[in-house]
Structure 1
Amino acid sequence: MGVWRIGADVLARSSFAVSPLIETVAALKQLGGHPTLPGQRAWVTAQLPAYRARLAADPFTAAFVKAAFPPRWLPDFLSTPPTDVDGTFRGELERVRATPPEVARADLATGLRGAALPPELCGPDLSDRAAELLAWVWTRTIEPDWPRRQRLFQADIVSRTQRLSSGGWAATLDGMRPGMRWLGGGQLQINTYDHPPQDVSGAPLFFIPSTSPRGWVGSDAPFRHTVVYPCSGILAEPVRRTPPRALTRLLGPVRADILTRLESPRSPTQLVALTGYGLGSVGGHLRVLLDARLVQRRRSGRYVLYYRTEDGDRLVALQRPGRHTGQEGALPVQETIGRAPSLHLSRGVR
């Protein structure tokens, strides 16, 4: 199995990040026929005609995607970790463009396992043309939807930093992507492939959510390493919760929806991603619920998390079918949900 040896200093300097380039590479893999989760299938179907037309018209593109995305392999120069957590697509693309062509060819040759590179990939402009393809995928298929995807990725990061603060790195890393788990003793199993252990001490890790159903790992040794993982929950077909009808009549549909979703602490960004309402709308309704003492808030690192108070819990529980007791709405003691402990993010995790 593939194992990374990681020191405590590496985890202390690790960060969650959002990467437009990583998401573009994930999209290119999906357009090339790699596995896709249900929530992405309609998007793939809509984009395939233009993508296939480009393959047919450009021999370089056809040869490149075949060489770059064989099973169980992704060239490092396409999965270079971002240099910061707020990188732009243009900045990340320049790192691909700056890859020496001989380095890019060596990466591709590794994935071909001894097969010769096709002649279309042997020119001096390999990195430039790969960057052009990525720019085409970004502009045509990702950029129009990027604000929504970015909100969903940020919501996923908030959720995982909450888990980190309450359960530590073992709880956060286990199951982050298929085959990945914390073994203890400074060892992180990154996949189940038969690879020799790799020492990544001294370089920070970036954990990046994406729409890839499996994710991957990348390395820019000895400077930084990447774990790309499936963004939890949002990639299945969206399920729209319907708040109880009486609660909707009492509070209005938006406030009822928000209150129903606050069974666990969430940030305004998470609520925007989950509900589809704008940030200003969510913020305004949270203020009303806060003034009514149906929710409370606390700071967790750089995030503000909202959660239901006991009165908010009781109000939601009273609207559930079969929850009325006949005693003026009184609920058994176990129906009152206790509050979660205060959350604090580990130093170095952003």
Structure 2
Amino acid sequence: MSVWLIGADVLARSRFAVSPLIETVAALKALGGHGTHPGQRSWLEAHRPGYRARLAADPFAAAFVKVAFRPRWVADFVVTPPSQTDGGFAEEVGQVRATPPDVARADLATDWPGPLPPELRGDDVSERVADLFEWVWHGTVLPDWPRRRQLLEADIVSRTHQVSSGGWAAALDGMRKGMRWLDNGELQINGYDHPPRDLAGSRLLFIPTTSRRGWVGQGEQRYAVVYPCSGLLADPSIIAPPQALSALLGPVRAIILTQLESPKTTTQLVALTGYGLGSVGGHLRVLRDARLVWRRRSGRTVLYQRTGGGDQLVEMGAR
């Protein structure tokens, strides 16, 4: 398994961050069929025809997505952790554009069976990759960015609450498939058989994304864990609450209560359940009045979670 050695100093300096470029990579992977959510169907239906047309007209783009986004692998230079946690898309894509072409080609060639496709061998490879990312960002992500950013920031608030209440182990365990906190400052990041890597003196970021699967990235003295956001759009049919609970509370309130095992914002609940903001807000008020849900404010964000009574009701309904 791959393990990062993370001392107390590295963990103390680690940060959660939102990355427009990482979300653009997630969108590009989704458009290419690399793991999607039921809730992304309408977005995919709107943008996949344009994506396919772009690949059909651009041999470079077609070769790049084939080589750069293989199952359980992504080229390092396109997911290098951002140098600033509050930077914008232009700054982040600028890092990709500034990648020396020999570095980009070497990243793309990693474990590729044979020579790179001829389209990827030119000295303009980094420029053209950045151009593709800009096309994806402006055409598919930016129009949806306010909603996506709300989901990502809400996830960060929830994870930060987990850190403050249960420590880093509580926040990191299960953050992404195959990752868990071990003893003695060791973080298992995946199941690959690689030598342990000491992150002493490095900067560590945790970046949520709407991608179905996460990945890890690294740059000069910078590392990142990219993980699936807990506020992802979902199909309500796969989060159906116990029948008895639905009969008692009604199906929508039962779904909401079932989802509040951990703190979530109204925005996250809207995304998870598929119901409108007004509907979710109204049901939360009823659940709060019944003392099944409590709320707390963290900065500008309001988090909701089940009370002890709410926990008992969900547990009894599942029997």
Q: Give the secondary-structure state (helix, strand or coil) at the position aligned to 1:226.
A: strand
Give the total of aligned pairs: 306
1:254 alignment partner in structure 2 = none
Residue 36 of structure 2 corresponds to 36
1:230 maps to what in 2?
228
Structure 2 CA distance, aligned partners of 1:22 and 1:69? 13
TM-score, structure 1 normalization: 0.73
Task: Please give the per-residue CA displacement for 1:258-316, whole angstroms capped at 9, x wherever unaligned.
Answer: 999878655566567666538xx97xx999x99x9978765557856466889xx7xx9
Q: CA RMSD in A?
A: 3.6
TM-score, scaled relative to structure 2: 0.80
- Name the amino acid aligned to 2:98: A
* Structure 2 gap ranges (5+): 314-319
The amino acid that maps onto 2:206 is: F
Cα distance in 1 for residues equivalent to 2:166 and 2:28: 35
Q: 1:187 to 1:120 in 2, by over 3 A?
A: same
Q: Would the aligned equivalents of 2:233 and 2:271 in 1 still touch at CA under 8 Å?
A: no
Distance of aligned partners of 1:13 and 1:276 in 2 relative to their CA distance in 1, 3 Å threshold: farther
Counterpart for residue 158 of structure 2: 159
Q: Is contact 2:2-2:190 (8 Å) kept?
A: yes
CA contact (8 A) 2:16 2:205 kept: yes
From the superposition, tell whether residues 150 and 119 of structure 1 become closer, same or farther in structure 2 (CA, over 3 Å): same
Per-residue displacement from partner, 1:184-238 (whole Å, max 9, x unpaired)?
A: 111111111122221122112111111222210000132x111011112523225
Contact kept? 1:67, 1:111, Cα under 8 Å: no
Q: Tell me if 1:203 matches 2:188.
A: no
Instruction: State the shift of 1:40 in Å.
Output: 2.2
Task: Give the whole-Å Cα distance in 2 for the aligned partners of 1:165 and 1:269.
Answer: 22
- Aligned 8 A contact 1:153 1:231 in 2: yes
CA distance in 1, matches of 2:170, 2:24: 28
- C-alpha change, 1:309 and 1:145, in structure 2 (3 Å) is same
> Post-superposition shift, 1:161?
1.4
What secondary structure sits across from 1:227 in the alignment? Answer: strand
Q: Which has the higher helix share?
A: 2
1:39 deviates by 2.2
Distance 2:120 2:260 in 1: 52
2:110 paired residue number: 110
Provide the residue aligned with 1:50 in structure 2: 50
Report the AA paired with residue 89 of structure 2. F
Contact 2:176 2:213 in 1 (8 A): yes
Q: Which residue of structure 1 lines up, in the alignment, with residue 138 of structure 2? A: 139
Letter paired with 2:226: V
Task: Give 5+ residue unaligned stretches, structure 1.
Answer: 249-256, 318-333, 336-350
Q: Report the equivalent of 1:60.
A: 60
In structure 2, C-alpha distance between the alignment counterparts of 1:190 and 1:307, rounded to whole Å: 29
Q: Deviations over 1:22-56 (max 9, x none)?
A: 01111111222222232223422332211111111
Identical-pair percentage: 65
Q: Is the Cα contact below 8 Å between 2:266 and 2:277 reproduced in 1?
A: no
- C-alpha change, 1:276 and 1:120, in structure 2 (3 Å) is same
Work out the CA distance in 1 between the residues paired with 2:210 and 2:302: 26
